[in-house]
Chain A
Amino acid sequence: MSYVAEDTLPERPAVLAKVKPLATLPRRPLVLHHRDFHWITEKICGIVEKPAPTWWYVCFVVSLGIASFLGVGLLWLVSTGVGVWGLRSPEFWGWDIVNFVWWIGIGHAGTLISAVLCLLRQKWRTAINRASEAMTIFAVMCAGVFPLFHVGRVWFAWWLFPIPNSQSIWPNFRSPLEWDVFAVSTYFTVSVLFWYMGMVPDLGTLRDRAVKTWRKYFYGVLAMGWRGSTRHWRNYEMAYLILAGLSTPLVLSVHTIVSFDFAASLLPGWHTTIFPPYFVAGAIFSGFGMVLTLVLPLRAMYKLHDLITQYHIDCMCKIILATGSMVGYAYAMEFFIAWYSGNIYEGFTFINRAFGQYAWAYWIMISCNVISPQLFWFRKVRENTALVFIIVLFVNVGMWFERFVIIVTSLANDFLPSSWGYFSPSIVDIFTFFGTMGFFSTLFLLFIRFLPMLPIGEIKHVTPPADPHYHPEAAQTGGHS
């Protein structure tokens, strides 16, 4: 604009001179009701320190019960054979890999929130990052169960690692499954480090507040001698930033590599270049869906409305809306590419997905993943917590079906019509999947019981009093800087 000569511009309307907009719009505070440091400490530590509520015990027992399904399912599987699952020719992969990709996708939000949003200085991440990192770790653990146990002879799975063995053979570094091993294990390691390191100051707080001896030792060991000195804080901040930098590419790489399991094959419906970005967007989408699924009940149960505010929910809903639309775009693009390529096998696969025997799964996927998040355009929807909860449940379901559609429909009707077949899961498939859900919630319940669910230090950091230039009347930024 500045290159345009003044005289060529139309005349400035006079009304603009009268309008005097505010210098800055007030930003929504990240902690409501001007809660002070003490309140925050008491609130978060109180969850861990007070006796567990009844609902926790109920949930824990139920989760443990469901988790036992996993144990029984795997015991049966390992002792008897992979045939106890519904796998068959041509669907040599079924629910096992669907569940793997689903859980891995869920595992994406945690690191994205803690690393990418940290680098992008999105301060609203602080309220939710701890819980979503824990979710990530547990989700990756659940994910790992499936590729590990879906192999025929799990006792030889260690051959995947490039370590000396009696056969003197390297693993095949060209196989996407081998890449998975490295990608997922790296991601898991870095996520655990990140999660744990971020928790050290809060563990210090819990240690300092501990009354019982076992707590002192428990948190004392975990806090690793944290004293809160400036030097500690400085090192901590630096390490946190480095880990955030390290994790950021991992967020993109893990699901990219998981998508290579399919993209590097030659099956119509799998062999496509759109998969890496599409899978990453889908992973973030499902990850945020799961974060909201977990955080909304916790917020209600522990009355965390001042710490996890409507603003946080808004932000997450918007991310879901954005990534959901990306996923929807990818679905449309797949169709376009299938048509544009002129490859008859590719074309058939996509028509068959939408209108063939698995069309029900496809349309569940479309309605859950593409249509339902579009409701988040409306503020009223975003502010209706119950509705948000229902929609994110749809997102979780939809993303499971997305993986189902990709994996099963492509395999069920591939090149040779003579080999086509219909996949249906066995009871053990279903048990094992629900078992991982129990396993996940067991771990998550233990986490909220024994570890600080929200980062005390980081939340304090984004309250107005943490601002060195804080002045109660002048506080306009609400923690944003």
Chain B
Amino acid sequence: MKRIINHPAPSLREASGPRYWRSLDELASTPAFKDWLEKEFPAGASTLEGSDRRSFLKIMAASFGLAGMGLAGCRQQTRHLLPYSKQTDRVMPGVPVFYTTSLPGAEESVPLIIETHDARPTKVEGNPSYKPTGGSTTVHAQSSILDLYDPDRAQRSSGANGAPLSPAQVMDALTKLGSSYDASGGDGLYFVTDKSTSPTRARVIDKIRNRFPKAVWAEYEAIDQGNPSRAAESYLGKPARPLYNFAQAKRVLALDSDFLHTEPGSLGYARGFAQSRRIQNGTDADPEKMVRLYAVESNFSLTGANADHRLRLATSHIWGLAALLAAEIFSLRNAGSSQQTIDALRQMGAAVKADNVDIAKWVSECAKDLASHSGASAIIAGPQLPVELHQLVLLMNAALGAVGSTVTFSELPEHPAVITLAEVGRAIDAKLIKTLFILNGNPAYNAPGDLNFAAKIKAVPEVFRYGYYGRQADETSTLSSTFIAGLHYLESWGDGLTWDGLHVPVQPMIQPLFEGFGEIDVLALLGGDRDPDAYAYVRDTFMARNPGKSLEEWLAVGVAGKVFATNTASPSMNRVSDLVTAAAKFQVPVVDADHLEVRFIPGITWDGRFANNGWLQECPDPMSKLTWDNAIFISPKLAKEKFPELLPGYTQMSKGPLGGLLSPQTRVNDNNFVTGREIARMGEVTVNGQKVTGPISILPGLANYTIVLPLGYGRKVVGQVGKNVGFDANPIVSSAATVSCSASGATLKLLPDTYRLANVQEHWSMEGRAIIREASVEDYKAHPTFVSEMDVEAESPPIYGKDKGLSPQEKSISQPRGQQLYQTHPNNVPAPNVPVWNSPEGLKDFPTPQQWGMSIDLNTCLGCTACLVACQAENNIPIVGKDQVMRGREMHWIRLDRYFASGPSKDGTYTDTNDLPEDPQVNFQSVACQHCELAPCENVCPFMATLHDDSGLNTMAYNRCVGTKYCADNCPYKVRRFNFFDWNKREVGEFYSGPLGPDYYDSDASQLTRLQKNPDVSIRMRGVMEKCTYCVQRIEAAKINARVKARDSGDTKVPDGVLVPACAQACPTESIVFGDVSDATSAVSIAKSSDRNYAVFGYLDIRPRTTYLAKIRNPNPAMPDYTAQPYSREEYDARYGHKAADKS
């Protein structure tokens, strides 16, 4: 048999570096030479003439030599490819190894654990040793693993005009750069860096500063979140940041703050918030014990979504509202302010108005509630708000007695002075800059539009750029004269500080995939270190910070040392009057239909840095449910007043008489889903003469005249994934705005074009159905069993028939399961076809299989969507691209349903779904396969491809599935996903070409991306159905581990809590709980024993193993927007519930 050996292509280093050749033929690369090479025995070898032993050996030597040359092109260094002659400790082929590391960020590092398979990182998990996050992660942490294997990342450094630079050349260039400025002390040398918490990086930068005292340093983050600490520093005199303890808080007010989702520290905050929101049973329900969240915001953030009272207000009016609130709080708490100051504060907020709510009452009742919970209340403001507002918030928190209990000040390390990007721009204009060194970030793309920074960079004589994406995929890199390829954080050493100050390592998991430099290495080279060793730097930092501590333990546990010291000082109330004077510049601007406000929010791509990440691009925005795009979000009110043609003339539910056949105004341009796709009109936003255009999407819940623009889209120079995604809102961002992330005096104009948005959820209303069941805390207290009195099952016969009295544990074991013709046997006896166990002897050894189940607490689910991305990473779920998402074919195994609910529409009914709610309540529900015990998908599959196993899993046999799709039709939860195309074999965009299109498997990109795949989960081919498996690979691994541990003891049960599916592991609020439902003491059984526990569509008698815990809201009866029941509950009651029954 002939083996075809594909010689590896020459590496970039070979292609670019000096070339060695063995013969002139090789140099000329003649066909004869190639032919000769490829033959197993060269031409002369078989004949005696012309070939003697000597020439044979020569030829062989040449062949070996060339083989060696070829191997040098392999990615990994050959000396690492030796097989284990002795088993390496802790490394077993096929068994993943976990290492600690952390995700570096501008304000905080998130401690992580990385799963590696055969030395390639495949999955990111939170580090459970770090208590504030408890092992949870954000979508960005989860998706960061994909960036490591991004085919578009910079694979080498390059000089001017893109000529490749070898690492040695880069090092030379850096050395030369350093020596050229040694004489002048760095005069004309400017640095623009991103923000970082890394103490090692700070140390190395100090070295550079010492070497070049005249060099100027600037720090730039497009989405700056430093204002809270700036305010704290200004009042405490030392670098500090307010740190909130939401687990202790009972009353919280968020001022345009998204502390549960996009702000630094959000993971820990979300966890703490959920902790004080959690209720087990109706008997524990108490409005006083449960946290109550007030939110004032212009955008509809997840924090607002989880608020009990939400006031929609323009961001530029937040100052006024805060002033009103401060006046109330200071007078309520007698906080040392003179009446005059209080009057001045009241005066500041006098112009704040809201059309549907009495602001004065809202503020005074809110203030009363906060003030009456002294020490258990807190106010948090969004970091985009001005420093003065944060100062006011500090004072209010101090007045509320929050400082020291719910709010503490943690001291930050001293940081040297840096200038802003605007100042760098001015220096360029003044021709002060000779060399600009841009470290990370992407200012050419995301600098405020008025700086015109990209054009300015071009005017700098020499631009050094260190970044992860190269000239082909990054706006700033294209403009550089020397581009230095960066490494992924999983490839290089580093460190960082968590939100509360723990020192966390950034450990590399893999040898650099490409030629690149670590951040520390590059900076150290500039600092004069000829042979930098990042590991040594990190080690030294650790030693210096933590004397006597073990480095190995730090690396193993991933966190060490002390958190930031607490600054016990409290801001003095005397500052109030100064602040009032200083803040006189804050007027409440006119915001109306002609003077719109623009609010910039971070998109899922953050400031654009994740634009080439397919998981993130396809991850639906929690609120708008858009993928692959941003949009100009406007409120329904603005649409009604100014752009009625944007309003849906009809929706899915009502298309006019006779389904629109007779309605003459059938329009294609309106914002609707009649064709199953969101067709959006294009709009043009103008601020101070600057324009951006983008598709308009109406989003309920926005402040009336605030336009919300997500940043981070519309990248021009970007990799394949990020191309043509969304529009760039940066041109209208102003560097001079008092409130960063907001601009006022904008106008919006409709353009004639339309644009298709890939929206994964076409219908916003729950239609009064009891899908998400909720109640106010008072009602829950009065009617603890309300969930069981809703929906059809309240009227239908008991689901378990005569066995209804059994405990849930007994039910899980004794009830029949599965819907196949094959015999199912009770769970506590062995299968009849297992003869070993069916003997009296064997029966003793038969362990009743553990019964898996899940509980999802809707009360603590915030909607952050981390579960979705975690599932995608764990289960090798492909991305399908915008076109296929628009065709309803996204593959996510778990999805986050979002429903808006509002009071009755104008006619007093709930059926006019054309009327988009202006001020809705929102609910989230994560839905994955519910693993029904009597699964409706199972009986309809003719191929017997989906069946039940002994532990209650509804399993999917991919290789038995032929793809009738009947199971998906019959699934009431619509959680099954079908491989309509070979998602893994074909490139996105080439699905329809079939075999005529390029084969992705053969592509270079595939060589890289396949490294991420979880080897424990199969890749599904086209034509088969797939769905959530409860992470069956983890279940099996846990069972094997339990069996290994049990040895002869027979105790093979997987202990509770050991086994966590990917979604539950990522969940910041622990709202997803998984475990053995046949064990009454397991966490999942305890969760399911709550009286809020219910099964969605329980009346179908399909007995899902995933059940939900009803949501409880905690509204304040004194508030003007108080409703006794949540909106969705009111709608249910009016349409289908007891109120409807009473009426009829």
Contact = CB atoms under 8 A, between A and B. Distances in A.
Given A167-B960, A417-B765, 10 more contacts: A150-B965, A152-B1022, A175-B941, A265-B966, A266-B936, A356-B653, A357-B659, A415-B769, A422-B674, A424-B676
Interface string A393-421: 00000000000000000010111111111
B660 interface: yes
A266 B974 CA distance: 13
A80 B992 CA distance: 7
B771 interface: yes
Nearest to A264: B940
| Residue among A153, A362, A416 with the highest chain B CB neighbour number at 10 A | A416
A186 interface: no
Given A81-B980, A359-B658, A424-B676, A416 B962 contact: no
Contact of A81 (B675, B820, B972, B991): B991
B970 A265 contact: yes
A174 B947 CA distance: 12
Nearest to B975: A419
A172 B821 contact: yes
B899 interface: yes
B427 to A, nearest CB: 52
Contact of B962 (A83, A153, A352, A359): A153
A308 to B, nearest CB: 37
A171 B761 CA distance: 36
B983 to A, nearest CB: 9
A175 B969 contact: no
11 contacts: A79-B995, A80-B994, A82-B980, A82-B1022, A83-B887, A89-B888, A174-B821, A345-B792, A415-B974, A419-B897, A421-B888
A257 B976 CA distance: 25
4 nearest A-B residue pairs (beta carbon):
A152-B963, A152-B1023, A359-B659, A80-B994
B955 interface: no
Interface residues of A, number: 70
B982 interface: yes
Interface of A: 76, 79-84, 86-93, 147, 150-154, 156-157, 159-160, 167, 169-178, 181, 261, 264-267, 342-345, 348, 352, 355-363, 411, 413-424
B978 interface: yes
Contacts of A363: 658-659, 661
B1100 interface: yes
A267 B970 contact: yes
Contacts of B972: 266-267, 414-416
| Residue among A83, A261, A267, A421 with the highest chain B CB neighbour number at 10 A | A83
A357 B961 contact: no
Contact of B978 (A86, A152, A418, A423): A152
B202 interface: no
Contact of A174 (B939, B970, B994): B939
B605 interface: no
A331 B650 CA distance: 26
B1090 interface: no
B964 interface: yes
B277 interface: no
A158 B925 CA distance: 40
Which secondary structure dominates where chain A touches chain B? Answer: loop
A81 B899 contact: no
A348 B1100 CA distance: 16
B795 A342 contact: yes
A183 to B, nearest CB: 13
A416 B897 contact: yes
Contacts of B979: 81, 152
A420 B960 CA distance: 29
A420 B978 contact: no
Contacts of B821: 170, 172-174
Interface string B375-411: 0000000000000000000000000000000000000
B941 A172 contact: yes
A208 B732 CA distance: 91
B962 A159 contact: yes
B766 interface: yes
Contacts of A175: 939-942, 966
Contacts of A80: 981, 991-995
B1095 to A, nearest CB: 13
A147 B965 CA distance: 11
B673 to A, nearest CB: 7
Contact of B970 (A87, A181, A266): A266
Interface in B931-970: 936, 939-944, 959-966, 968-970
A425 to B, nearest CB: 12
A361 B659 contact: yes
Contacts of A88: 676, 887-889
Contacts of A423: 676
B260 interface: no
B763 interface: yes
Contacts of B982: 81
Interface in B810-831: 819-821
Contacts of B761: 418
A181 to B, nearest CB: 7
B676 A172 contact: no
Contact of A178 (B942, B965, B969, B977): B942
B606 interface: no
B690 to A, nearest CB: 38
A417 B769 contact: yes
B978 A92 contact: yes
| Residue among A88, A171, A417 with the highest chain B CB neighbour number at 10 A | A417
Given A153-B1023, A265-B970, A344-B769, A418 B941 contact: no
B940 A81 contact: no
Contact of A358 (B659, B944, B965): B659
A151 B974 contact: no
A416 B771 contact: yes
